[in-house]
Structure 1
């Protein structure tokens, strides 16, 4: 049985390291995609909820229409 040496192990380590880096990239891409989708859905649902909330109203008044006591 031959001895294991650093020269024999190094290619295996480098190959495994490449696979780990690649798999991490894939998981990061999936996580980013899920996060973007969740933010988009949350924003859409928030807009729908605000649009149909009977207790929420936006009132706009120009500066000319405000009362000036002086």
Structure 2
């Protein structure tokens, strides 16, 4: 994956993390019924994807793996 694709996906993952965090933190509304979308789970998934994309971005800029990791 090249740099522009990584940055676009990183921005989308961060936006999804913030949006899902905002939606998950809202108080429940009993008049509307139960929430059918697991916003907190989506927030954690988007944050994990953002973390992986940050690691990929670091390797694109030349970061090397740690020498104590086997197979590095």
Q: Is TM > 0.5 for Structure 1 vs Structure 2?
A: no
Q: Higher RCO, 1 or 2 (CA under 8 Å, sep at least 6)? A: 2
TM-score, L = length of structure 2:
0.39
Scaled by the length of structure 1, what TM-score is found?
Answer: 0.40
Larger radius of gyration, structure 1 or 2?
1
- Give the helix-richer structure, 1 or 2: 1
